[in-house]
Amino acid sequence: MGLAFPPALLSEKMSAGLALAGKTVLLTRARAQSEESVALLSAHGAKCLVFPVISIHTPSEPKPFQHAVASLSAYEWIVFTSVNGVRATLDEVARQKIANAFSNSKIAVVGSSTAHALEDAGVHPTLVAKEFRGDALANDLLATLGEKSRVAILRAKVAREILPDTLRAAGHAVDVIVAYETKPAAPEDAKAIADALGRGEIDFVTFTSASTVEQFCALFGSHALRLLEKTRVISIGPVTTQAAEKLGVAVAKTASPHTVAGLVDALIEVNTSP
């Protein structure tokens, strides 16, 4: 195979007694987001193969996003549904040199990873959804918002509509702002991956979003389900699992909590189960 594994964090001798020693894990998320997964999996003895099937891009029409970021102070609540949305917004705030961009607003997020991305920049969210799903955040927000609040949701171009639709149905003014776009990647090593999966050389495949599983299946077409027959699929959360099952992909386990650490724990549990 022409693909190279990221540098192992442990030698083979050191990893021999670890939970994932000798196991190969395929990571399908965007390359920039795979570092945490590689570190955690490698620490448990796994070999990690990074094979991004999607890539993250700035909006194809950037002006609405730029204008929205310049006007964030007009919103009572700002909502982030992913780390990518946070990073894109922080980058644009820096580009425009906006001081105290979030000082007049409360911030709500889905998931601890999204919260940490903000906190690393010195911004502390007011509300973190109890469950890492958009519908859970909608319910948490409805219990917190005042009457007819103005809300900005900074997210991917293509995303589920349950969050904005739920808030609008309750009478709130909601602006959905495209902060980034996910586009299909064209991995050069698709044939090598297909061959490795076909030979049963990849023990686990991880999917961290509906878009990763959808693009994996689109990339390999009619062969996708056959290629996954000799591996075990681990999903980061129920939305990803639903997308997988809709496409006929069998999911061995869904992570709980729906985080990278939860994904690694789920993978270890499946690997160590009788």
Distant-in-sequence, close-in-space partners of 55: CB < 8 Å, separation ≥ 6: 30, 31, 182, 183, 184, 185
Q: pLDDT tens digit string along 75-102?
A: 999 999 999 999 999 999 999 999 999 9
Q: What is the pLDDT of residues 213-250, one digit of tens each?
A: 999 999 999 999 999 999 999 999 998 999 999 999 99
Residue 45 token pair: 């003895």
How far apart CA 51 and CA 187 sit, in angstroms, is 7
Tens digit of each residue's pLDDT (9 = 90 or more) over 112-160 = 889 999 999 999 999 998 676 778 899 999 999 988 999 999 999 988 8
Q: 160-177 as b/e, with b when 16 or more CB fall inside 10 Å?
A: eeebbebbeeeebebebb
Q: Residue 16: its pLDDT value, please? A: 55
Split at pLDDT 50, 70, 90, the class of 4 is very low
User: Cα dist. 91→83, 88, 180 in Å?
Assistant: 12, 5, 11
